[in-house]
Structure 1
Amino acid sequence: MSISQFLRFVDIRTKFTSILPVLLGVFYTIYFFGTFDLLNTLLFFIAAVLLDFTTTSINVLVDYQTASSEDFKKEHNIIGRENISEKLVVAYIYIMFILYFILGLILVYRTNLVLLPIGIICSIIAITYTYGPIPISRMPLGELFSGPPLGFGIIFIAIFVNYRDSLILSLNFQNSTFVLQGDWLTILAIFFVSLPQV
């Protein structure tokens, strides 16, 4: 698959929707907290784009495999239109998702363990939005299930990985117990800032 094919395949024109919440979170952190972590921001930005690419790729593959007509496969779906191998598409999906997960683990290491379940929940929602026995997007309340976690979640993570002075939310283990601590006023403020994205 050439670079231009790949960019068409992941529908690069629509990626502003995954970039905007990251930018909103970063700008909010700079304005409100006066802090910015370039490495964490770059890692999260790449991870968010990779997850978006993965979701789009799964959607294109599912549409191709479940197409009701050969005409749709050959004329309207990029896999058939540009004769891209399904095995190659599946390989790209796995590679992008594994890279997303690795970047996520690096961010967990650089911040706090609480980021791990948040990242896993966001990725499950993103993948099941378009894939599975009953994709979220095909359910009557699909946007209600996906909008709040992703609209709030992406902005929250963008702020979380940049706010280094003190953690907005933290998860720590002490022997057989765990402690979940957070600043509920800050989290509430982030929720209200993220409402347009939600």
Structure 2
Amino acid sequence: MTLKTFFNFTRIQTLPAALLSPIAGCLFAFWYFGSFHFWPTLLFFIGLASINLFVSAWNNLMDYQKALDPEYKKWNIIVAKSINPKLALNICLALLAIDVVVGLIVLFLTNLAILPIGGLCFLIAIALGILPIWSLLMSIIALKVIPNIKKFRAKQSKSETFHLQIDNLMLFNASLALTLLLGIIFK
């Protein structure tokens, strides 16, 4: 597998959107608390990138395995780039393992107080990979997101419904940014 194919398989283009809120959170923490811890923060972002790439790759793998429409299936990156499904699964598991290992290193560099928060974030990321409807922050935009998901599941056509998933990603990230902004304003 080439690096370009790996980036397409893991949807690397979604990574900047996933990093936006944590970067804003780090900037806020530095401004508010006046301190910055380089190594735990760097490792946190490595873990965050890894879990983000895992979720995207897992979604591609599940789209391939569960696609009902042969026309939609042929547009999947696994078919389009002739990726062996076992290799795709191994990549997913490797990205998940990287996140767990990095998370444990951050835990040992800091303290046990981050274990429940980190564990919860890990479970949420896994749940989002398995159950894309579920998210606490999506409740703000559920009236738009849920119909988009239903339309996409009813008809998996790249030309007609794929854009709905991109719309959902943008709505989700906008709600994250809005939540962060409201948290800063009304602290």
Tell me if TM exceeds 0.5.
yes
How far apart in 2 are the matches of 1:22 and 1:139?
Answer: 20
Letter aligned with residue 4 of structure 2: S
How far apart in 1 are the matches of 2:39 and 2:97?
Answer: 19
RMSD: 2.9
Q: Which residue of 1 aligns with 2:184?
A: 193
How far apart in 2 are the matches of 1:194 and 1:91?
Answer: 43
Aligned ranges for residues 18-37 of structure 1 at < 5 Å? Answer: 18-37=18-37
Does 2:14 match 1:14?
A: yes
Are the aligned partners of 2:128 and 2:134 in contact in 1 as well (CA < 8 Å)? Answer: no
Task: Identify if the C-alpha distance between structure 1 residues 140 and 125 changes in structure 2 by more than 3 Å, giving closer, same or farther.
Answer: closer
Does 2:84 match 1:121?
A: no
How far apart in 1 are the matches of 2:107 and 2:136?
Answer: 31
Q: Which residue of 2 aligns with 1:72?
A: 72
How far apart in 1 are the matches of 2:185 and 2:56?
Answer: 23
| 4+ residue runs over 6 A deviation | none
How far apart in 2 are the matches of 1:23 and 1:119?
Answer: 17
Task: Identify if the C-alpha distance between structure 1 residues 191 and 104 changes in structure 2 by more than 3 Å, giving closer, same or farther.
Answer: farther
- 3-state DSSP of counterpart to 1:15: helix
Letter aligned with residue 68 of structure 2: S
Q: Which residue of 2 aligns with 1:187?
A: none
* Offset, 1:41: 1.2
For residues 156-182 of structure 1, the C-alpha deviation after alignment (integer angstroms, 9 at most, x for no partner) is xxxxxxxxxxxxxxxxxxxxxxxxxxx
If each structure's strand is expressed as a fraction of its own residues, which one has the higher value?
1
For residues 79-116 of structure 1, the C-alpha deviation after alignment (integer angstroms, 9 at most, x for no partner) is 11111011001101111111101110111111111212
Letter aligned with residue 81 of structure 1: A
If each structure's helix is expressed as a fraction of its own residues, which one has the higher value?
2
Q: Which residue of 2 aligns with 1:179?
A: none
Task: Identify if the C-alpha distance between structure 1 residues 5 and 120 changes in structure 2 by more than 3 Å, giving closer, same or farther.
Answer: same
Letter aligned with residue 18 of structure 2: S
How far apart in 2 are the matches of 1:93 and 1:72?
Answer: 22
Q: Which residue of 1 aligns with 2:162?
A: none
In the superposition, the TM-score normalised over structure 1's length comes to 0.68
Say which of 125, 143, 150 aligns to 2:138. Answer: 143
For residues 138-193 of structure 1, the C-alpha deviation after alignment (integer angstroms, 9 at most, x for no partner) is 36988239x7xxx59xx8xxxxxxxxxxxxxxxxxxxxxxxxxxxxxxxxxx9813
* Offset, 1:2: 1.0
Task: Identify if the C-alpha distance between structure 1 residues 112 and 144 changes in structure 2 by more than 3 Å, giving closer, same or farther.
Answer: farther
Does 2:106 match 1:97?
A: no
Gaps of 5+ in 2: 141-171
Aligned ranges for residues 161-172 of structure 1 at < 5 Å? Answer: none
How far apart in 2 are the matches of 1:38 and 1:57?
Answer: 28
In the superposition, the TM-score normalised over structure 2's length comes to 0.72
How far apart in 2 are the matches of 1:33 and 1:140?
Answer: 29
Gaps of 5+ in 1: 156-189
Letter aligned with residue 111 of structure 1: T
How far apart in 2 are the matches of 1:14 and 1:129?
Answer: 15
Does 2:47 match 1:50?
A: no
